Amino acid sequence: MTTAPTAPKINKASGAQQKLLAFASLIVLLLFFSVAAPNFMQTSNIIAILQATSVNGVLAIAATLVIITGGIDLSVGTLMTFCAVIAGVVLTYLGMPLPFGILAAIAAGAGCGLISGTLVAKMKIPPFIATLGMMLILKGLSLVISGTKPIYFNDTPNFYEISTGSLIGDIIPAVPIPNGVLILFIVALTIGYVLNRTVLGRYCFALGSNEEAVRLSGVNADGWKMAIYALAGGICGIAGLIIASRLNSAQPALGLGYELDAIAAVVIGGTSLAGGRGSVLGTIIGALIMSVLLNGLRVMSVAQEWQTVVTGSIIIIAVYADMMRRRKMT
């Protein structure tokens, strides 16, 4: 009775094509900047780009999960900040050892995600409104809990290593890829596996394609949806740890606006805002395109007012290309 419906074949094919398109755009951007800006293609700058992608990439993966179900999560940015503040409270205010801080941040994220999921699935509040509310609540709570001041992690010297240390660099000194980037790729691989190989992933797509059909087939649609929001929340907790570690502090006023960067990366990567279609790989490429673009324009000394114009244009072009291609297929 509860056999999970598989996503229609056409979705997978178009997903692959969009990923290819996004990947090709990324390569072209890299080639363009390495010719146009002499200082672009150097190890330290490539690492700077990857590091700039780590937080947005992880947030975008969380956003991808929710968007595939046909929802939207506007709270990813401030939830990240909230989790960073929770880690700060546990490690700095309570003086507990590092693993507790990590667990607390991820648990806080999953808990808040579960609340969002409950608002959406059980109370039937539209995801846009429910997560908009959560976004503001979490922004406020971060300020309240932290006393509106940054919480520094000076008493937990290893905390800084979470994002800025380099396990890869310890083994191969020539490529000191920061741990924050490593975490991004681990999260990407894990969630990619969850989406494509597990029941949770199949229901994620099924809810986005046809929620009614899922319900009618006797599946606990609400339960699965809540689980997906909770998982996305937990991932925001990981993003909170990465950013807090990078800044060696939980910055309570930060986070607003980061949800839009995350959603932009998801959309550039070919995930449909209508739900039912998307991939983690696409999202990662989308996030990379955004940070390569921004870094490249900066290294070329393009004036800042133009940088945002270009970024906005790229988002529109990417989505338009995706729409045109799909119109041709039907």
Closest by CA position to 215, among listed 66, 126, 223: 223
Q: Calculate the CA 59 to chain-centre distance.
A: 2
> Closest CB to another protein among 40 and 224?
40
Output the smallest distance, CB 5 to another protein, in A.
30
Least gap, CB of 223 to another protein (angstroms): 35
Of the two residues 146 and 209, which places its CB atom closer to another protein in the complex? 146
Shortest distance, position 255 Cβ to another protein, whole Å: 8
Distance from the first to the final alpha carbon of the chain: 31
In the chain the beta strands, taken as DSSP E runs, fall at 151-152, 249-250
Q: Which is nearer to another protein, 85 or 227 (CB)?
A: 85
Least separation, in Å, of the C-beta of 162 and another protein? 14
Nearer residue to another protein within complex by CB, 1 or 303: 303
CB of 272 to another protein, least distance (A): 17
The C-alpha atoms of residue 41 and residue 329 are separated, in whole angstroms, by 38
Per CB under 8 A, residues contacting another protein are 20-21, 24-25, 28-29, 32, 36-37, 39-40, 42, 44-45, 48, 51-52, 55, 148-150, 152, 164, 243, 246-249, 251-257, 291, 293-304, 306, 309-310, 313-314, 317-318, 320-321, 324-325, 328
User: In terms of CB distance, is 22 or 119 closer to another protein?
Assistant: 22
DSSP 3-state of 261 = helix
Assess contact for 238 and 58: CB atoms under 8 A. Answer: yes
| Closest CB 41 distance from another protein, rounded Å | 10
Q: What is the C-alpha to C-alpha distance for residues 191 and 182, in angstroms, rounded to an integer?
A: 14
323, exposed or middle or buried, with CB in 10 Å at 0-12, 13-18, 19+? exposed
Shortest distance, position 99 Cβ to another protein, whole Å: 23
Please say which residue, 171 or 303, places its beta carbon nearer to another protein: 303
- Pick the closest to residue 308 from 257, 246, 252 (CA basis): 257
With tokens 């990567």, the residue in question is 269
Q: Find out whether 66 and 191 touch, Cβ atoms under 8 Å.
A: no
Tokens (6 digits) for 39? 């200082």
Asked if residue 4 lies in contact with residue 304, where contact means CB atoms within 8 angstroms, the answer is no
For another protein, give the closer residue by CB, 69 or 249: 249
